[in-house]
Structure 1
Amino acid sequence: MKSYIQEMLKRKDLLYYLVKSGLKAEHRNSYLGYFWWLLDPLLNVLVYYFLVVIVLDRGGENYPLFLVIGLVVWRWISTTINSSSKSILRYSSIINQVSLPKALFPLSFTVTQLFNFAFGLVVMAGFLLIYGIMPTWYILYLPLIIVMQLTVHIALGLVLGYITIFVRDIENLMTYITRIFFYASPIIWEGGRLIRSGKMPDWLTPLIEYNPVAILVTAYRDILMYHQPPNLVGLGVLFAISIVVVIYMLRYYSQNEHKIIKAL
């Protein structure tokens, strides 16, 4: 695995090219171009605000801010899953012609979505200013949370990028899995309020409180909205598991890349 990582480091120029081309390709044929990275989270906020507040008469204090943080974090998660799962298949023509570490492709799509998320942070900052919520020293946790989430995404990208080569239906299946996590996580609604209402079966409580998406989304709200430390235990466990998965997958890639070429 050590030699495999060294080979990846030698190909850092290719990684840079893949990230750059990925950023250009996202909105290449649209009139608004990169402005969509700012407009997309804003439009999502409007849609769900209309649904929850206007139609269902729900929501609470500072709900649009609550909503935008959840949607921006979720957008980073969902776009990374969708893009990295197809990363190796997308560049199959290059992979069949040139010998290079295949793990570079899921990694490049993951890094591409990190830049996309940076624009979402701008939208978050704008909403914080609108609602007059000034950051406290807890914002120092922000880079740590981003690094932890990026590690989770790298782990997911490596796993899904490999599996999708052999099980093409996984791409369709992930659509429904991500939808389950979207509604099972406090993205458009407050998890604690639903649990306290007593209207939810007990067996669903762990899914609401301890799923990875809920831990990540809540962490951002804790430091930005509520000025309190995030759930460091939950984040730490998630980070540790992701590190183990990344190491295992890099080792697995290094030993099984010949299978990728045969499958393509």
Structure 2
Amino acid sequence: MHNFDLLRHLVWRDFSLRYKRSVLGIFWSLVLPLAQLLVLVFLFQSVVPLSIDAYPVFVFTALMPWSWFSSSVGSACTLFMSNRDLVRRPDFSPLLLMLVNTLSNLLTYLIALPLVLGMLWWYGIALTPALLLLPALLVIQSVLIMGLSMIVATLNVFYRDVQHIVSLVLTLLFYLTPVFYRSQSVANGYHLMYTLSPFAVLIQCYRAIFFYGVLPGWLPLAFVSACGLLLCAIGSLIYSWRAHEIIDLL
């Protein structure tokens, strides 16, 4: 119970501090994804048409989980340095910081969810029982994010280049993830890349339940889940291996 109260407090503190003393407050959390959506819709509906029906909602159903992922992993790099007092406490688990960062960014996604549902209604896309799978997708993505976060947070303590590399990789990964295009549209030789990329698979699962109203295959879900658990194990091992050095450097 104590750990739950601490988690709830830290998540709310992390989320609220981002918008402290701003006029629009939490609405700023929607500004970036909506701005990205407008740019993508303009480019790929008017400038270079992709001929995808209901294109704004097609993009938005994938853009919001992508924003959650990129924000969480990008901000994870400095977690240990910005919370050095907590990390130094012998009774504090660093995994809790990863969970706090993941959940505070998840709040942004949940705030945008009514907007996603409203866009689906506007374009006449019916909601189906497939949406009941959403909580499972949120858990799977949380595990994936926490594993990656533990790895980059640990490595960034020793090599400050990591935060810059992560920023670059996230920028490139956005274009290699089928957020604003169909993975089926890429050349045949590149299909394997979208099958083996855990987040590309996860994005297509979100789009399946929201946009197409169908259940994704269980094999892709099992693959992404296994990748998330593997990353968590690797992240925990890396942290355990260098824990004493991390505390000394902080």
- Give TM-score scaled by structure 1 length: 0.86
Task: Give the number of equivalent residue pairs.
Answer: 249
* Structure 2 match to 1:3: none
1:177 deviation in Å? Answer: 1.0
1:220 to 193, 206, 220: 206
What SS class does the counterpart of residue 105 from structure 1 fall into?
Answer: helix
Specify every segment of 5 or more residues in structure 2 that has no aligned partner in the other structure, as ranges. none
1:226 deviation in Å? Answer: 1.2
Q: Provide the C-alpha distance between the structure 2 equivalents of 1:141 and 1:107, rounded to a whole number of angstroms.
A: 21
1:211 to 167, 177, 197: 197
* Structure 2 match to 1:152: 144
1:181 to 173, 183, 189: 173
Specify every segment of 5 or more residues in structure 1 that has no aligned partner in the other structure, as ranges. 1-8, 197-201
Q: Provide the C-alpha distance between the structure 2 equivalents of 1:212 and 1:82, rounded to a whole number of angstroms.
A: 17
1:150 deviation in Å? Answer: 1.1
Letter in 1 for 2:192: P
The question of whether the paired residues in 2 share the 8 Å contact of 1:103 and 1:158 is answered with: yes
Q: Provide the C-alpha distance between the structure 2 equivalents of 1:195 and 1:92, rounded to a whole number of angstroms.
A: 47
1:79 to 66, 71, 93: 71
Q: Provide the C-alpha distance between the structure 2 equivalents of 1:226 and 1:22, rounded to a whole number of angstroms.
A: 34
RMSD (Å) for aligned C-alpha atoms: 2.1
* Structure 1 match to 2:80: 88
Q: Provide the C-alpha distance between the structure 1 equivalents of 2:112 and 2:241, rounded to a whole number of angstroms.
A: 37
Q: Provide the C-alpha distance between the structure 2 equivalents of 1:10 and 1:103, rounded to a whole number of angstroms.
A: 16
- Superposed counterparts of 1:1-264, under 5 Å: 11-96=3-88, 98-99=89-90, 100-195=92-187, 202=189, 204-250=190-236, 253-254=239-240, 256-264=242-250
Q: Provide the C-alpha distance between the structure 2 equivalents of 1:50 and 1:256, rounded to a whole number of angstroms.
A: 47
Q: Which runs of 4+ in 1 moved over 3 A?
A: 9-14, 93-96, 247-256
Q: Provide the C-alpha distance between the structure 2 equivalents of 1:107 and 1:263, rounded to a whole number of angstroms.
A: 23
Could you report, residue by residue, the CA deviation over 1:216-242 in whole angstroms, capped at 9, with x for unpaired residues? Answer: 111011111112221321221121232
- Give TM-score scaled by structure 2 length: 0.90
